[in-house]
Amino acid sequence: MVKTSESQMRITEQLNLDLGDVKLQLLLVSQALGAMHDYLQKLGARLERSGALGPEEGKLLAAYKRAIAELQKKGLSLELPQDPTAKPVEVVCPTCQAKLKAKPGQRIGRCDWCGHEF
């Protein structure tokens, strides 16, 4: 059995700590991008419904959607930020009166029953 030196063990320990930091930073960046993507998707849908998008803006929004889809095929993860200590929130839909429960750490965006957006 090969004996590892104390300096090799310290290097390995530091490498593991650095790897953990990189994974945490990657998660935080992914969550920030996910929140931004979610906001842009909702804003784009709202602008499309209201007819406020001109032809140039429509092309830009379509190009953005294509670029995100391509990046997701290549492994981009767009996670919404989650609070692990959050308790499930219960909301009553004003349209159909359905009781909706959010998953821990997430918010309710729309009703699964009638499609009402919050």
Torsion angle, alpha carbons of 35, 40, 42, 46, to 10: 160
Which band of pLDDT confidence, cut at 50, 70 and 90, is reported for residue 63?
very high
- Please calculate the CA angle 68-109-85 and round it to the nearest 5 degrees: 95
Torsion angle, alpha carbons of 43, 47, 52, 53, to 10: 80
Structural domain spans, the chain: 6-81, 82-118
pLDDT digits (tens, 9 = 90+) for 70-118: 988 998 888 777 666 656 678 888 899 989 887 766 777 888 889 888 7
pLDDT digits (tens, 9 = 90+) for 16-59: 888 888 888 888 888 888 888 988 889 888 988 898 888 898 89
Q: How far apart are CA 112 and CA 80, in angstroms?
A: 18
Averaged pLDDT, 55-65: 89
